[in-house]
Amino acid sequence: MMKRDECFAVLARHCPDDIVVAVYSSAFDWVRIRPHALNYFAVGAMGLASSHGLGLALGQPGRKIIVLDGDGSLLMNLGSLVTVAAAAPRNFYHFVCENGTYEANGSHPIPARDKVDFSGLARAAGYPTVRQFDELDSFERAVAGVLAEPGPVFVDLKLVPGEPAPADFDSLYAPSRRDAFRQALGLQR
């Protein structure tokens, strides 16, 4: 299994100026690994990473949108897989961090954690490209090609938490961070 922070460090080298939507534990790892004005955080919106990412993908068709979702979070909004596949944004890359737990809520196991097949769900929903990784070396070799595919692309990352990142909600939701995001998109307040 891969460690999430190590996996994200690899991914960060391939998306230096892309919009990244990150939720829960992924958000805290991501902001430490790639602090950037185009990070969009949705902690507290369980299940809505893919929905937020879809809105950004449709509204910003010239930019890649990387969604860093959790398996527990995705379970809260499985219908979004069908919606994303139907909208078919070519700039949408959905990475699901599968560790079999609701990590942000005490690491309680997700339902059917040994049975649910997230790649199969995405494939059945209509994602044209579905990939799965459980080894860092294979992910590192393939990630550039994955991000070169036209979206929507679904990537199931089989992983475990890495080095704990501080859960600094005040920093994550600072007004200055929202202003920097708007400015990076060229939007006026």
Per the domain annotation, does 188 fall within a domain?
no
The answer to whether residue 185 sits within a structural domain is no
Q: What is the pLDDT of residue 186?
A: 84
Asked whether residue 15 is assigned to any structural domain, the reply reads yes
The model's pTM: 0.91
CATH of the domain at 87: 3.40.50.970
Is residue 38 included in any domain, yes or no?
Answer: yes
Query: What's the DSSP call for residue 110?
Result: P
74 in any annotated domain:
yes
In a domain, 187, yes or no: no
Q: Which residues contact 40 (CB under 8 A, 6 or more apart)?
A: 19, 20, 21, 22, 52, 56, 181
Structural domains in the chain (count) = 1
How high is the pLDDT of residue 165? 62
In a domain, 186, yes or no: no
Residue 83 domain flag: yes
Query: What DSSP character marks residue 104?
Result: G
Digits of tens for pLDDT over the chain (189 positions)?
899 899 999 999 999 899 999 987 888 889 999 999 999 987 666 778 999 999 999 999 999 999 999 888 898 899 999 999 999 999 999 999 887 655 555 555 666 667 789 899 999 999 999 999 999 999 999 999 999 999 999 999 999 766 666 667 777 778 888 888 888 888 766
Query: Comparing C-alpha atoms, which of 55, 57, 51 is closest to residue 74?
Result: 51
Q: What pLDDT, on the 0 to 100 scale, is given for residue 163? A: 63
Q: Which domain holds residue 30?
A: 2-180
Predicted local confidence at residue 127, as pLDDT: 98
